[in-house]
Structure 1
């Protein structure tokens, strides 16, 4: 199993139409084949300055690679991510055991 997580800060104010549009577009990523347990998350802690998180799981690295190359993912990155995200941290995990 691969756990793919991204924490991010948008260029737009919280509650703005642009924020809503970005989050709505991000939620559509869950329909890409191989994506499991998709979550769109709002940061509530004060230990970093990221505002949102996206989390999803893939059964294996092959499924993760299919997601990365999928036209809907590429379109999301070009259309929304590139213009909307101020900064981010991407972390991909797999179980130790």
Structure 2
């Protein structure tokens, strides 16, 4: 299992229609085959500047690779993520057994 997470902040003002539009469009990522347990998260700590997080799981590296190459993901990164995300931190985990 791979847990893919990303913490980020947007270029849009908090509570704006643009912010809502970005988050709404990101839900389409959950429809990509292999994506499990997709979550959108709001940051509650004042210890960093990231406002949001996404978390999802994949059964294995093949499912994760397929997600990264899927046209829906590629389009989202190109059309929404790159122009609308001001800063981010991506972390991918596997369980310690």
TM bracket, shorter-chain basis: over 0.9
Map of 2:77 onto structure 1: 77
CA distance in 2 between partners of 1:73 and 1:88 (Å) = 17
What TM-score, normalized by structure 1, do the two folds share?
Answer: 0.98
Aligned positions, number:
97
Structure 2 SS opposite 1:47: coil
CA distance in 2, matches of 1:25, 1:92: 22
State the Cα distance separating 1:36 from its structure 2 match.
Answer: 0.2
- Give ranges in structure 2 of 5+ residues lacking alignment: none
Q: Which structure 1 residue ranges, 5 or more long, are not aligned? A: none
Deviates more, 1:67-76 or 1:41-50: 41-50
Task: Please give the per-residue CA displacement for 1:61-86, whole angstroms capped at 9, x wherever unaligned.
Answer: 00000000000000000110011000
Q: Distance in 2 between matches of 1:22 and 1:70?
A: 19
Q: Could you tell me the TM-score, scaled by structure 2's length?
A: 0.98
How many angstroms apart in 2 are the aligned matches of 1:39 and 1:28?
A: 12
SS in 2 for 1:67: helix
Mapped to 2, the partners of 1:13 and 1:29 lie a distance apart of: 23
